Amino acid sequence: MASPSHSTSLHGSAAPERPGLSFAILASVQITLIAAITVMTVALPAIQRDLGLTDTQLVLATSAYSLSFGGLLILGGRLADLRGHRAIFVTGAVVFGGASLAAAAAETLWVLASARFAQGVGAALAAPAAMALLSSVFPDPARRTRALALWGVLASIGASSGNLVSGVILSWGHWRWLFILPAIIAAISVVCVPVLPPGPGHRPVQLDVPGALLVTAGLSAFAVGLGESAWGLIGSGLVILSVFAARQARTATPLVPPSLLASGPRLAALLAIGLTAAGMAAYFFMLSLYFQTTLGYPPLRTSAAFLPAVLAVLLAGAAGGRAARRLGGGGLTAVGLVLAAVGMALLSTLEADSSYWGLLVVGITLFPVGAGLAFSGATVWAVGGTALRDAGLVGGIVNTAMEIGPPVGLAILVPLATSHAEGRGGGAEGDAGGYAFGFGAAALALAAVAGLILLQRATGRGDSRS
C-alpha cells in the first residue's frame, strides 16, 4: 500500500481538511448505488399495476439496472484512473441522479427500463471512482485501512437499506419516491464535490476500447444468463471473457493489466467478496419469502424484520477497522467467513413452523456480522498493494465481484432449494430455505479454509497484503 508521502506527491495536493465529511459523502453515494438494486423489490406489485406490465416486462425493468451496473464497472474504474477520480465520480453522480428522476416520471415500460439502465451506467462510473478517492481522502495507511474496512460493509448496508426504505416509503407514499430520494442524494453529493480531493489528474493513456467492449459484453451476457438460467448466454459470456483475458495478455495498453490479477491474495479476496455477496442475496431472498409467505408478514413488517441485520452489519463495520489492523485483511476475511458459515448453518435448521425470535437468536444477526467482517477484510485485502494509478480499476473489480456474486448465488441456491423441497413432496419456504442455507454454509466454510491456507503461505513469503 502506498505511503502517505507517495499519495500526496502523486496527487500534487494534500489530504482534505475534513476527511470525515468526504468519507460521509462518498459512503452515502455508495450505499445509495447498492440500495438501488433492491429498492424496487417490495414495490414490484405497485409498479406492475400502475404501468400495466406483464411479469416478463417487470423482470426487464428490474434487471436493467444490474445489467449496466455490473457490466460497466471495470470500464468505469479504468476511466476513473485515466480521466480523474473526482471528475468521473461527478459524471457518474449526475448521470445516476438524472436517470433516477426519469425513472420517477416513467409512464411506460421502455422509459422505466431505459432510465434504470442509465442509472446503472451512472453507478458504474461513480462506484469505482468513489472507492478510489479513499486513497486521497486518507493518505495515512492506518486510517485508510480503517476506512476501507468500513467501506467493505457499505454494500451490505445498501442492500439492507433498499428493502427497509422501500417498505417504509410504500406504507406512506407512492413508489415514485423510491427514485426521487436517490436523485436528491446524488444532487447533494454533486453540490458537495469541492470538499473532495481532486485525486490524480487526466492521464494521456489510450483506452483499450476493444477490451472494454469485450469485458462489458462478457459480464453482461454472463449476468443475464444466470438471471434467466440461460446456459447459452452463460457459455457465451464465459467465452467472451476468455477472449478478453487473452487480449489483455497481448495488448500494450490493457484495460486490466494481468499483474493486477496475478496476486493470489487479491484473487482470494475477490472470491471471498463474491461468495459473501452470494450468501447475502440468498439470505435476503429466502428470508423474505419465509417472512411473507410462511409467517404472513406485510411489506413494512418484512422490512422491519431485517432491521437487526442492518444493525449487525453496522456493528461489524465499526469493529472491522480495528480488527483489520490487528488481524490483517486476510485474517479478518477468514474470521468473517467462519462466522458467516456458522450463521448460515444455524439458519439451515429453518422449518415452516420456526419462530422469528428463534431466527433472530440463532442466525439472523450472526450471519450479517460474519458477512460484514468478511467484506471488510476482503476489501482491505484486495486493495492492499494497489498503486494509486490503478485504484479506480481495482475499485471496479471489487464492485464487480460484489455484483456477480448475487446472481451466481441465486442461480445455484434457489433451484437446489426448490428441487429439494419438491423432492420431499412440498414447497415450504422454510424447508427449501434451510437446505439452501446449508449449502451456502458449506461453501463459505470451504472458502474460509482455502483463505486460511493461502494466508499462511502469503505470510510465510512476507506478503504485506496478508
Does the structure show a pLDDT above 70 at 143? yes
Give residue 105's pLDDT: 93
Q: Categorize the per-residue pLDDT at 88 as very low, low, confident or very high, splitting at 50, 70 and 90.
A: very high
Q: What is the torsional sign of CA 127, 128, 133, 139?
A: positive
Residue 197 burial by Cβ neighbours in a 10 Å radius (0-12, 13-18, 19+): buried
Q: What angle, rounded to 10 degrees, do the helices at 366-383 and 154-172 form?
A: 130
Does the structure show a pLDDT above 80 at 17? no
0.85 exceeded by the pTM? Answer: no
Alpha helices in 138-206 (DSSP H): 141-152, 154-172, 177-191
| Model confidence pLDDT, tens digit, residues 228-251 | 667 888 889 899 989 988 888 888
Torsion (CA) 372, 300, 67, 151 in degrees, nearest 10: -20
Mean of the per-residue pLDDT values of the chain: 79
Domain range summary for the chain, segments of one domain joined by +: 18-207+255-460, 208-254
The single-letter code of the amino acid at 22 is: S
| Model confidence pLDDT, tens digit, residues 327-342 | 778 888 888 888 888 8
Tell me what percent of the chain is helix, strand and coil, each rounded to the nearest 5.
80, 0, 20
Q: What is the CATH number of domain 18-207+255-460?
A: 1.20.1250.20
Chain center to CA of 377? 14
Cell numbers found for residue 244: 478478453
Q: Categorize the per-residue pLDDT at 8 as very low, low, confident or very high, splitting at 50, 70 and 90.
A: very low
Number of C-beta neighbours around residue 258 at 10 A: 11
How confident is the model over 207-218, as a mean pLDDT?
83
How confident is the model over 376-401, as a mean pLDDT?
84
DSSP string, 48-106: HHHHT--HHHHHHHHHHHHHHHHHHHHHHHHHHHHH-HHHHHHHHHHHHHHHHHHHHT-
DSSP code at position 15: P
Chain center to CA of 430? 26
Q: Categorize the per-residue pLDDT at 1 as very low, low, confident or very high, splitting at 50, 70 and 90.
A: very low
| Model confidence pLDDT, tens digit, residues 402-417 | 888 777 777 777 666 6
Q: What is the torsional sign of CA 380, 217, 126, 404?
A: negative
Chain center to CA of 408? 13
DSSP string, 331-379: HHHHHHHHHHHHHHHHHTT--TT--HHHHIIIIITHHHHHHHHHHHHHH
Does the structure show a pLDDT above 60 at 454? yes
Does the structure show a pLDDT above 90 at 117? yes
Which residue has 439496472 as its cell numbers? Answer: 65
349 backbone dihedrals φ, ψ, rounded to 5°: -80, 0
